[in-house]
Amino acid sequence: MLNEKVICAGFGGQGVMSMGQLLTYAGMIEDKQVSWLPSYGPEMRGGTANCNVMVSESLIGSPIIDGDATCAIVMNLPSLVKFEADLVPQGKLLINSSLIDDKASRDDVQAYYIPANEAALELGNSKVANMVMLGAYIELTKAVSFDALHKALEKVFGGRKAHLIDVNVKALEKGASLVK
């Protein structure tokens, strides 16, 4: 039974909120139960930001993840330090190894080191590092389908931002390939 509890975290401006929203939209497209709870630090851009996302096949009682995250997607070192402890044993820890040299301190979690910034630069757009991480997450968990994510991207990047869909899809695919 699918019951994903995901913490997406990083600096403001790294797209952690977008990552969470897209995952939530994709879950909605697939008629799953979802929640998205953002949390911003005192500064927006450059400050810390994180969101709790749940994608489940059963009803969600509370949007708060309190020490029982099935996955943490961390884009920077402060996020790793803050959220690694919130993972359940055998939870997935996705670490942006482009910005984080440290390794997981727990040996009871599944850690994945993903060079998201380098992958984004290879694609020609440094702003899609978050989508590289999200692609890796989807490949590992199958919480939602890539097709649903593509539809969510079309919803979010419709109209004058439609030109961004292709590079975001490529970033999702690149992230998936990095953990296959």
d(CA 2, CA 29): 15
Task: Dump pLDDT digits (tens) for 68-84.
Answer: 999 999 999 999 999 99
Domain assignments of the chain as residue spans, ordered by start:
3-178
For residue 18, what is the enclosing H or E element?
helix 16-29
Q: Would you say residue 20 has pLDDT above 90?
A: yes
In sequence order, the β-bridge partners of residue 5 are: 54
Cα torsion 163, 152, 72, 109 to 10°: value is -110
The token pair that represents 162 in the structure block: 């439609």
**Dihedral angle over CA of 144, 147, 153, 159, nearest 10:** -150
pLDDT in tens, 116-167: 999 999 999 999 999 999 999 999 999 999 999 999 999 988 889 999 999 9
Task: Return d(Cα 139, Cα 128) in angstroms, integer.
Answer: 17
The gap from C-alpha 36 to its chain's centroid, in whole angstroms, comes to: 12
Phi, psi of 25 (to 5 degrees): -60, -45
Length of the chain: 180
Which tens digit of pLDDT belongs to each residue from 86-122?
999 999 999 999 999 999 999 999 999 999 999 999 9
| Predicted TM-score (pTM) of this structure | 0.96
Architecture of 3-178 per CATH? Answer: 3-Layer(aba) Sandwich (3.40)
CB atoms inside a 10 Å sphere around CB 89:
8
Distance CA 80, CA 93 (A): 9
Q: How far apart are CA 147 and CA 60, in angstroms?
A: 24
How many whole angstroms separate alpha carbon 103 and alpha carbon 113?
8
Closest CA to 6 of 61, 40, 53: 53
Comparing CA positions, the residue from 175, 168, 105, 95 lying closest to residue 136 is: 175
| H or E element, residue 66 | none
